[in-house]
Amino acid sequence: MKDALLFTAVVLLVLAIVLYVKNMIANGVTPNPATFFIRSTVAIINCFSYFTVVHQDNFKTSITVISAVGLSGIFFYALARGKFTKLRWVDVTCAGAAMIIVVIWKSTGNAVVANLILQGVMLLSFYPAVNGVLYGHAKEKSSTWILATLCYVAMVMAILVDWKTGSAYQLVHPIVSGIIGNGALAVAVLWHNGKKRLNILSVYGWNSYLN
């Protein structure tokens, strides 16, 4: 059961990454530079610390590895092709705060504590993207972030069905940065799109009334 859930999580994550790249190439999305810089950097570090947290479970760690590779690939492709949105003060502020937290992370010698600190950085990294979507500075599609959220839901379920000592620490990464982070961005996109459609309908309805 655990392996089936983890396999499902891997497939969902790969689909999310492929779909995001496809949308980015087609100019359907505009990645936030701060979000992807922070996430790709921290995701690489997260691979090593989470490996200790899950007691060297390669299957569980594979999700963090795929995430790190995917985020890094998106970051460098967007950087090379000029796909990023313009940097704003909120992006720079979040990036600076994230780097301060990383320095704090570096000062601890406890792998579990280090991993917990990293989740705060990962969660913070979503804010620039959410802010950009809500204020119309960036284009995102909800499908990618819904798939990513479902990936981590499957990962949480895999941990729950294979509960062991220390599993509570294993849940922090998929819940905080996986479900809450990705879920918040998915909700932001859906809310923004819904608001935009409502505005269009309002304008259309008003014009119809005038005519």
pLDDT tens, residue order, the chain (211 aa):
888 999 999 999 999 999 999 999 998 899 999 889 888 888 888 888 788 888 888 888 899 999 999 999 999 999 999 899 888 887 788 777 777 766 766 676 676 777 788 888 888 889 989 999 998 888 999 999 999 999 999 999 999 998 887 788 889 999 998 999 999 999 999 998 887 665 554 545 545 444 5
CA distance 1 to 119: 26
Q: How far is CA 111 from the centre of its chain?
A: 22
Residue 196 has a pLDDT of: 65
Alpha-carbon distances of 54 from 3, 150, 168, 170, rounded to whole Å:
14, 20, 10, 6
Residue 54 has a pLDDT of: 84
CA distance 23 to 36: 16
Alpha-carbon distances of 60 from 8, 54, 199, rounded to whole Å:
12, 7, 44
CA distance 44 to 4: 25
Helix axes 111-134, 33-53, angle to 10 degrees: 150
CA distance 105 to 98: 10
CA distance 195 to 91: 24
Contact, 8 vs 154, CB < 8 A? Answer: yes
Residue 210 has a pLDDT of: 42
Residue 140 has a pLDDT of: 93
